[in-house]
């Protein structure tokens, strides 16, 4: 075992919160951390299972027939052939033209025929491993594997105590810590909130360095100009201790490529695809096809557009580097037709998630979906919409489920209480996806015989041997009876989550980092800052 493998809070079954809340500093505690047996003396506020990716043990739901799926495929191919897509990048257009696309001089429009698209898309791997600096946190992307990542890219952050405020580095770091602390967050993947108090020219340097130091999970970077891609890839290379040659063969960072729907890939996004593919890193190509706004008002029409745009981006990535790891992103939802605001967790969203999964599987690509809502606070609506979006994502066979903890307001804010409440949802989903034990002992015929009619099972040996780990213990659900609960002040899940997120932050421990790597990160960040960071005039 390397030092990286021994020094993580996250694999403990139970966080010892009594100990954690003593007035000791985190580094001081680190030396006497207990593994496995920890937490016996304190209240089990966060009984966690070890880090593990849930698997799709159930077949995804096929929402439409194979013929109907082909009709969406065919329609999206007609879009790419007849209408085309604007690629706002000269080199990209030249590459596409050289590969057989129809491109007129002086125009952005690129038309690709279906043979070209399908041939390129077929070069993408159906499954790959994303390396984390703690190799226990490596992620399998695709197949039957599931990754949950937390809220990302919101401009605001909110909790009860501080109210709603613009994103800032302190909250950014706290949310990263939560993403590290909870094993069910397989990687944070993005800035959980945008820290606007760091200047845009150097923000990516500080943020990625923070992510490397505060977490030991897979790294993410934004495609906002190729210099940021270069910096992020280099930081990921250093964090993972890879040579440049090894890096190209080792996916260890991921970017999301959003098309500018309808039918446009802008310059930074195309730079992102180019830089990531050249470096052997991952592009998650996700059109934001909001039915009724940037996409047709019909779900099938929005999916046609989504499919055309996603495949165009993925085909281009394969042109840059055949075999470049990519993910098919589905983010189709509908708008509130009264206000034009995006809606999430709607029935249309669920249907779109199912069909997006069918499309991704048709092309043998990993499928990205999301756990999202339009709620402004942590109420019934928040849970309803978030759970329904997860229902779509899981039934749809989602491999990478983004924004799955902490997302509020259609992505306009990250909520601390929402983060904790969603952790309960995600942990429940993981248990739901754990194969049921149907062994002879589990069938319990002998226990039923021993108890007989009108008896009770609690005192039986069968129960006593199993009850401690028999059931998932919720962290936010309050199962006290009404009277006890009312005496305690009738706390809602929001109230409980407000208490719990602070306890989780207290219990968080910074993962170890090789001092040599730490120093190399600092040197790189300092040098790039001294050079002025990156241009911010794009």
Query: Which residues inside 113-172 make contact with its own copies, applying CB under 8 A?
Result: 156, 164
Closer of 42 and 241 to its own copies (Cβ): 42
d(CA 348, CA 333): 6
Q: Please give the Cα distance from 390 to 345 (Å, whole number).
A: 8
The CB-of-344 to its own copies minimum distance in angstroms stands at 10
- Shortest CB 465 distance to its own copies, Å: 9
Is residue 432 a contact point for its own copies (CB under 8 A)?
yes
Regarding 47 and contact with its own copies (CB under 8 A), the answer is: no
Q: Among residues 215 and 460, whose Cβ is nearest to its own copies?
A: 460
Q: How far is the CB of 401 from its own copies (least distance, A)?
A: 15
* 302-341 footprint of its own copies as x/- string (CB under 8 A): --xx--x-------------------------xxxxxxxx
Using the rule CB under 8 A, is 102 a contact of its own copies? no
458 binds its own copies (CB under 8 A): yes
Residue (26 or 486) nearer to its own copies, CB:
486
* DSSP class of 535: -
CB of 219 to its own copies, least distance (A): 30
Among the listed ranges 177-185, 198-206, 214-222, 350-358, the one in contact with its own copies (CB under 8 A) is 350-358
Nearest distance from C-beta of residue 406 to its own copies, angstroms: 13
Considering only residues 260 through 279, tell me which ones interact with its own copies, judged by CB under 8 A.
Answer: 260, 262-264
Sites for its own copies among residues 12-31 (CB under 8 A): none
H or E element: which one contains 350?
helix 347-362
| DSSP output for 408-469 | EGGGTEEEHHHHHHHHHHHHHHHHHTSPP--SHHHH-HHHHHHH-TT--STTSHHHHTTHHH
Candidate list 242, 457, 502, 517; residue touching its own copies; CB under 8 A? 457
Q: Return the residue of 13, 47, 68, 114 that touches its own copies, per CB under 8 A.
A: 68
Binder of its own copies out of 443, 516, 519, 527 (CB under 8 A): 443
487 binds its own copies (CB under 8 A): no
Number of chain residues interacting with its own copies (CB under 8 A): 125
Residue 352 CA, distance from chain mean position: 18
Q: DSSP assignment of 259-292, as one string?
A: --SSSEE-HHHHHHHHHHHHTT-EEEE----EET
- Count Cα atoms within 13 angstroms, Cβ side, for 461: 6
Tokens of residue 33, six digits = 């951390």
Task: Please report how the helices 267-278 and 90-98 are oriented relative to each other, as an axis angle in degrees rounded to 10.
Answer: 60
Q: CB-wise, 276 or 375, nearer to its own copies?
A: 375
Span of 26-34, 166-174, 201-209, 437-445 interacting with its own copies by CB under 8 A: 437-445
Opening angle at CA 263, ends 538 and 366, nearest 5: 95
Distance, first Cα to last Cα, the chain? 45
Angstrom distance (rounded) from CA 267 to CA 263 = 13
Residues 381-400 binding its own copies (CB under 8 A) are 381-385, 387-388, 391, 395
Closest by CA to 497, choosing from 383, 416, 430, is 416
* Least distance to its own copies, CB of residue 416, Å: 13
* Nearest by Cα to 249 from 142, 146, 323: 323
- Site residues for its own copies, 495-514, by CB under 8 A, read 497
| Residue 498: closest CA among 150, 214, 158, 49 | 158
């Amino acid at each position: 075992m390397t030092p990286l493998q021994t020094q993580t809070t996250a694999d403990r079954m139970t966080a010892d919160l009594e100990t954690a809340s003593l007035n000791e500093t985190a580094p001081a505690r680190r030396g006497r951390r207990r593994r496995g047996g920890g937490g016996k003396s304190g209240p089990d506020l966060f009984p966690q299972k070890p880090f593990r990716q849930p698997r799709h043990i159930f077949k995804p739901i096929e929402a439409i027939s194979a013929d109907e799926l082909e009709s969406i495929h065919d329609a999206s191919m007609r879009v790419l052939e007849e209408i085309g897509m604007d690629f706002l990048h000269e080199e990209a257009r030249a590459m596409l033209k050289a590969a057989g696309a129809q491109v007129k001089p002086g125009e952005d429009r690129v038309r690709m025929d279906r043979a070209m698209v399908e041939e390129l898309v077929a070069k993408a791997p159906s499954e790959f491993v994303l390396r984390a600096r703690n190799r226990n946190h490596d992620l399998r992307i695709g197949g039957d594997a599931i990754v949950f990542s937390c809220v990302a890219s919101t401009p605001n952050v909110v909790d009860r105590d501080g109210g709603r405020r613009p994103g800032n580095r302190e909250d950014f770091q706290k949310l990263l810590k939560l993403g590290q602390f909870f094993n069910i967050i397989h990687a944070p993947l993005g800035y959980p909130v945008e820290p606007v108090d760091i200047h845009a020219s150097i923000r990516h340097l500080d943020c990625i360095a923070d992510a490397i130091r505060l977490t030991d999970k897979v790294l993410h970077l934004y495609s906002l100009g190729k210099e940021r891609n270069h910096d992020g890839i280099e930081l990921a290379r250093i964090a993972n201790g890879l040579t440049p040659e090894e890096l190209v063969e080792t996916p260890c960072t991921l970017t999301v490529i959003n098309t500018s729907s309808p039918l446009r890939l802008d310059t930074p996004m195309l730079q992102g695809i180019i830089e990531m593919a050249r470096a052997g890193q991952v592009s998650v190509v996700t059109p934001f096809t909001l039915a009724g706004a940037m996409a047709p008002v019909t779900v099938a029409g929005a999916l046609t557009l989504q499919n055309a745009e996603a495949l165009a981006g993925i085909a281009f990535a394969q042109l840059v580097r055949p075999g470049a790891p990519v993910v098919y992103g589905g983010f189709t939802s509908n708008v509130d037709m009264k206000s034009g605001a995006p809606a999430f967790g709607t029935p249309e969203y669920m249907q779109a998630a199912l069909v997006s999964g069918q499309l991704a599987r048709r092309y043998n690509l990993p499928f990205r979906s999301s756990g999202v809502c339009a709620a402004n606070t942590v109420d019934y609506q928040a849970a309803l919409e978030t759970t329904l979006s997860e229902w779509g994502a899981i039934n749809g066979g989602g491999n990478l489920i983004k924004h799955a903890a902490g997302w509020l307001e259609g992505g306009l804010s990250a909520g601390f209480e929402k983060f904790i409440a969603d952790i309960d949802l995600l942990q429940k989903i993981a248990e739901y996806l754990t194969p049921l034990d149907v062994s002879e002992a589990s069938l319990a015929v002998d226990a039923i015989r021993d108890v007989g009619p009108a008896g009770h099972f609690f005192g039986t040996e069968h129960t006593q041997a199993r009850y401690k780990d028999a059931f998932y213990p919720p962290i936010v659900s309050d199962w006290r009876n009404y009277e006890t609960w009312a005496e305690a002040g009738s706390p809602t899940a929001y109230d409980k989550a407000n208490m719990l997120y602070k306890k989780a932050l207290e219990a968080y421990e910074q993962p170890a980092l090789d001092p040599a790597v730490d120093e190399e990160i600092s040197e790189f960040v300092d040098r790039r800052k001294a050079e002025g960071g990156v241009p911010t005039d794009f």
